[in-house]
Amino acid sequence: MPVQLPHFWALLPAAGIGSRMRADRPKQYLQVAGKTIIEHTLECFLAHPQLRALVVSLAVDDPYWPRLACAGDSRIQRADGGSERADSVLSGLMRLSELGAQDQDWVLVHDAARPNLSRDDLDNLLEQLADDAVGGLLAVPARDTLKRAGKDGRVEATVDRAAIWQAFTPQMFRLGELQRAMADALIAGVNVTDEASAMEWAGHAPRLIEGRSDNLKVTRPEDLLSLSRLWQNR
C-alpha cells in the first residue's frame, strides 16, 4: 500500500540581496534555463498534491516579484521579509498562521535560491518525518577532509568528518514549535543561521535525512554556472 504523505505548508525566505553574486539584482531573480531561480524553486512545491499553501517572504520594496507570472498564483501568499533570514522566516510563519495553519501543522522552510530540489527528496523527507516528534532537515554527510583553522589562518586540527553533515533545505518542523523557537532565539539575541539551529537552541534534536548532493544553493557566480551545466539536458 502506498505511503500517505502528510499535508504541509511551505515557506521561502527570499528577502536577501545576494551580494556575493555581484549581480544587478537579488540572486533569486537571475535567469537560468529560461526562468528565474525562484520560479524553478517554487515548481517542486507547487507540483506536490500535499501542499496546502506557500508563503514567500520578500523585501517590502521588491520590484522583481510582481513581474513574475507566479506572483498571481492563488496558492502563493506574500509576507514582508526582514534584514536577516530569521526575521523573514518568523514573518512568514506568522503569515501562515493568518492563512489558517495550525500549531501542529508541518511547515517546510526552503531556500529560495536552492532550485534543484528533487521530488524524491521532498517525498522522502515528508515520509521519514511524518510521525517524528521533532522534525528535521535534508542533509548530506561530509565527504571531504575537514580542517579547523586557527586565528592565524593555519590548520589547527583535522576534524573527524564521520559525524559531520552539511545542512540543506527543506527543513521541516511543526509550525507552533518552530515559531516559538525562532521568536525566543531572536529575543535572546542568538544567531540562528537556519531553522534547525533555532530548534537546537530550544532543546530539540532535529533528525537528519540524507538527500541528494546536487540540491545546491546558488550563492556565488560559479554556482550558477554549475546549475546551468547540470540542467543542460533539461
The pLDDT value recorded for residue 228 is: 87
Residue ranges per structural domain of the chain = 8-135+168-230
Hunting for cell 524553486 — which residue is that? 41
How far apart, in whole angstroms, are the C-alpha atoms of residue 94 and residue 100? 10
Q: Evaluate whether 85 touches 43 at the Cβ level (below 8 Å).
A: no
pTM of the entire structure? 0.94
Half-sphere exposure in the Cβ direction for 7 (13 Å, CA): 7
Distance of alpha carbon 78 from alpha carbon 53, whole angstroms: 11
Whole-number Å distance between alpha carbons of 146 and 153:
14
pLDDT of residue 215: 97
Grid coordinates standing for 61?
520594496
- Cα separation, 53 vs 99, in Å, equals 8
Spell out a b/e string for 41-58, using b for 16 or more CB atoms within 10 Å of the CB, else e. bbebbeebeebbbbbbbb
Q: For residue range 81-134, what is the model confidence (pLDDT) as tens digits?
A: 998 999 999 999 999 999 999 999 999 999 999 999 999 999 999 999 999 999
CB burial class (10 A; 0-12, 13-18, 19+) of residue 138? Answer: buried
Gyration radius (Cα) of the chain, Å? 18
CATH of span 8-135+168-230: 3.90.550.10
Residue 53 C-alpha cell reads as 499553501
Q: What is the pLDDT of residues 127-180, one digit of tens each?
A: 999 999 999 999 999 999 999 999 999 999 999 988 899 999 999 999 999 999
| Model confidence at 18: pLDDT above 90 | no
The share of the chain scoring above pLDDT 90, in percent, equals: 83
Q: Judge whether residue 1 has pLDDT over 70.
A: no
Three-state SS string across the chain, please? CCCCCCCEEEEEEECCCCHHHCCCCCHHHCEECCEEHHHHHHHHHHCCCCEEEEEEEECCCCCCHHHCHHHHCCCEEEEECCCCHHHHHHHHHHHHHHCCCCCCCEEEECCCCCCCCCHHHHHHHHHHHCCCCCEEEEEEECCCCEEEECCCCCEEEEECHHHCEEEEEEEEEEHHHHHHHHHHHHHHCCCCCCHHHHHHHCCCCCEEEECCCCCCCCCCHHHHHHHHHHCCCC
